[in-house]
């Protein structure tokens, strides 16, 4: 996967043990389901994300399901 992030996207790291890098559209920042994940990330990590990008504390399968739902909106 390229290290460049396309315009209009942001990088998040997802997973419990091993973190996987995902690029998501910034439009997801307006979606309540995605905002819930960001709130959980804030509770767990504050604003110090060890991976250098947003780290989302959930199972990768859960994240993929959520992204799938959001892409259908």
Q: How confident is the model at residue 14 (pLDDT cuts 50, 70, 90)?
A: very high
Q: How confident is the model at residue 2 (pLDDT cuts 50, 70, 90)?
A: low
Output the six-digit token pair for 60: 């990768």
Residue ranges making up the domain that contains 39: 9-71
| 66 in a structural domain | yes
Number of domains into which the chain is organized: 1
Alpha carbon distances (Å) from 56 to 59, 71: 9, 18
| 2 in a structural domain | no
| 55 in a structural domain | yes
| 4 in a structural domain | no
Check residue 49 and report its DSSP letter.
Answer: -
Residue range 20-72, pLDDT digits in tens? 999 999 999 999 999 998 898 888 877 766 666 788 888 999 999 999 999 88
């Amino acid at each position: 996967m390229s290290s460049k992030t396309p315009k209009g996207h942001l990088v998040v790291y997802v997973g419990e043990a091993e973190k996987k890098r995902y690029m998501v559209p910034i439009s997801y920042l307006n979606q309540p389901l995605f905002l819930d994940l960001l709130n959980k990330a804030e509770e767990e990590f504050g604003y110090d994300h060890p991976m250098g990008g947003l780290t989302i504390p959930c199972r990768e399968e859960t994240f993929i399901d959520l992204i799938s739902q959001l892409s259908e909106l």
